Structure 1
Amino acid sequence: MQVHPDIAALRSDRAPQRAAQAVIQGAKQDWAQEPGASELLADLEAYGRGAPFECCAMLEAVFIGQGEAERLMDALSRHYCKAMAANPIGQPPFRNGFDGMASSILLARCERAQLMLQAREPGDMHHSGYVFSDATRFDAVLAGEAEARIVRKVSEHDGQARFAEEAVSLRPGQRYAFDLSSDTLVIDQVARRLVALRLLRTAEEPHPGREFCAASGRMLHQSAATIAISRQETILALLGRMGRTDAAPAIADLARSGGDTSLRWQAVREALALDSATGFRLLGELARRAGDPLAHQAGALRAQLLETHPELAQLEIA
């Protein structure tokens, strides 16, 4: 394998890399000294811990007023670009991603709130579905031009949704606020690279995210509301694929507990697959629980299974 001489030098002597990173960290501290920067980060911390948006004066100035978002992001760019130009091997301390059309830089995060820069490259975009999540979002458009639609979910019944749309032209200086459980911004065409500063806060106890077909309104997909729930769902699936019948009682206990309904329902399915007796008794128990959001689903599945396999009734007697 060929190794560039500059890379080989860095591998043999890490001092230049450490020095470059110290300069990059200094850029972060320099930006924090800019007027309003520390107040913005303090407000983000309070907002992430549940403070009302209207009680966070700097966030209001950035995402409702004019000029503050542009000024602070211009200062951020100046400090980091200067540091990186002088130290090209330094790494900005931000999580980032790019998929060829969209890029994201996570500037700061606290509890339920995130502050990020979002960019879209020029081009046309096709959207087969609309995604809704249990969160609130504020966008401050910093640069670029794009044509978009605000899609509002006006009703939902039995996994079928109806939408209303509002066409918008995105330009620098515009400010938007969204309740993402019912609103989403769909970008159809970008004429000049679109850059926006975004503030996102998830609900304290979020419901699962949902994607609906743009053409029919039919629900296509449901995703875990949080990383923790996603991790638990993965563990449940792994135990099921491993055939861990000894885990069935603990999985059934998870289904009985309160909390995320999608996680509980997956636990029901895994308990049934691992141990039909444990799983079927669990179905009957949940079906009899008045007020449990899983009661109707559990009762319907129990009736369906009894119709196909009448012998399952003996499991509840045993």
Structure 2
Amino acid sequence: MHIDPQIGALRGDHAAQRTMRSAVAQAVEDCRQEPGLAAVLAGLGAYGAGAELEDCSGLNRLVSQRGAAHSLIAPLVGRLVALHRENPLAQLAFRHQSRGGFHFLQLGARGRATLALALHDGRGGPTSPATATFPDAERHEIVLAGRAELALLDIVEDHGGSARIDSVPRRIMAGECLRFADATQSRIVQNAEGRLLVLRLARIARRPQPTRQFDLATGRLVHRASGDRRESRHEMMMALMGRMGRVDAAPVLAEMARSGSDHLRWQALRECLALDSGTGFEELERIARSPGDSLYSPAKALCARLVEAHPQFTQKESAPCPA
């Protein structure tokens, strides 16, 4: 592994690390205390708690007045760019992620709402995504800079494991605002001319449906994940317990299969079965005997398949799942 000399030197210079962390923290705090951004973050709190966007004046101004978002964000970006020119190895003080051609920086999160910058880098040429993601969230996307060709997507027929998706081409440029109401609407960037910078205001539903990803050519569902951040964390914890072989977690997973969204309950049941077939099958049978349970039909079908393939399930002995 090659380690740049600057990074190598910084690893042993704890004073320099503290100086950079302090500089970044102070810059972020200064930004958040500026009247414009402070008002927006206050509005984000109300919006995240369930208030109507029209009642959050600072936020509503961003999406309704042309140029308002740019005026708010430009000083923030300028301050952060200057900071990182002085301290190029400083870590970002915001939640962020990067992958090929896409970069994301979360400016704030309050309750169910988030405010973030999203950058699409089209310098590698036109792209044609094979899939599209549909989160159950109300979204507003204000174009701060750049131009791009998009496809606006609507699910017009939903069959669970597949969907018919309408696609409408749209060309956007700086100053425009896109709105997406719920889990039936999304968009993909097909060609960004240079870089496309977007300010994204989003609020997940109070009881969000799973976030789904569809293959655009066939309409086939290719991935499903919980639309709730708390449930997503629980999903990851359940998966970790399973990979660690924590048999002692089986009773907890069985309990988790009794409440929450259908998606989370089903995941808990699967992990429980894999860890301890006796505990998992007992919970599966309980659901399969409860016609009023929303998981009754899939549980009954899975129960029948498991008994047919593995008759030893009827013995209800605690053991790793043979399936």
Q: TM-score range by the shorter chain?
A: 0.7 to 0.9
Range with greater deviation from structure 2 (19-28 or 298-307) = 19-28
In 1: Cα distance, 2:3 partner to 2:139 partner: 47
| Other-structure match for 2:171 | 169
In 2: Cα distance, 1:79 partner to 1:311 partner: 66
Q: Which one has a bigger Cα radius of gyration?
A: 1
Secondary structure at 1:73's aligned position in 2?
Answer: helix
In 2: Cα distance, 1:75 partner to 1:169 partner: 27
In the superposition, relative to structure 1, how do residues 64 and 311 fare at CA in structure 2: closer, same or farther (>3 Å)?
same
Q: Displacement of 1:246 after TM fit? A: 4.5
| Other-structure match for 1:284 | 285
**Identity over aligned residues, as a percent?**
37
Q: Which digits, 9 at most, give the CA deviation of each residue in 1:4-41, with x for residues without a partner?
A: 47974894572x65555555445445544545222111
Secondary structure at 1:193's aligned position in 2?
Answer: strand
Range with greater deviation from structure 2 (100-109 or 240-249) = 240-249
- Structure 2 gap segments, 5+ residues each: 318-323
Q: Displacement of 1:185 after TM fit? A: 1.2
In the superposition, relative to structure 1, how do residues 313 and 37 fare at CA in structure 2: closer, same or farther (>3 Å)?
closer
Amino acid at match of 2:303: R
- RMSD over equivalenced CA pairs, Å: 3.0
Q: Which digits, 9 at most, give the CA deviation of each residue in 1:56-87, with x for residues without a partner?
A: 11111101221210111122233333444455
| Other-structure match for 2:103 | 103
| Other-structure match for 1:221 | 223
In 1: Cα distance, 2:168 partner to 2:19 partner: 51
| Other-structure match for 1:264 | 265
| Other-structure match for 2:148 | 146
| Other-structure match for 1:182 | 184
Contact 2:138 2:204 in 1 (8 A): yes
Range with greater deviation from structure 2 (17-26 or 139-148) = 17-26
Q: Which digits, 9 at most, give the CA deviation of each residue in 1:138-176, with x for residues without a partner?
A: 100011111001111112114110111111101011011
| Other-structure match for 2:134 | 132
Range with greater deviation from structure 2 (236-245 or 171-180) = 236-245
Amino acid at match of 1:132: F
Counting only pairs closer than 5 Å after superposition, residues 57-76 of structure 1 correspond to structure 2 as: 57-76=57-76
1:117 aligns with 2:90: no
Secondary structure at 1:124's aligned position in 2?
Answer: coil
In 2: Cα distance, 1:281 partner to 1:245 partner: 15
Secondary structure at 2:129's aligned position in 1?
Answer: coil
In 2: Cα distance, 1:235 partner to 1:300 partner: 27
Contact 2:132 2:187 in 1 (8 A): no
| Other-structure match for 1:294 | 295
In the superposition, relative to structure 1, how do residues 167 and 249 fare at CA in structure 2: closer, same or farther (>3 Å)?
same
Secondary structure at 2:40's aligned position in 1?
Answer: helix
In 1: Cα distance, 2:316 partner to 2:30 partner: 69
Counterpart selection for 2:251 from 232, 249, 253: 249
Secondary structure at 1:280's aligned position in 2?
Answer: helix
Contact 2:94 2:105 in 1 (8 A): yes
Amino acid at match of 1:213: D
In 2: Cα distance, 1:160 partner to 1:132 partner: 13
| Other-structure match for 1:56 | 56
Q: Displacement of 1:290 after TM fit? A: 3.3
Q: Displacement of 1:275 after TM fit? A: 3.9
In the superposition, relative to structure 1, how do residues 163 and 275 fare at CA in structure 2: closer, same or farther (>3 Å)?
same
> Scaled by the length of structure 1, what TM-score is found?
0.85
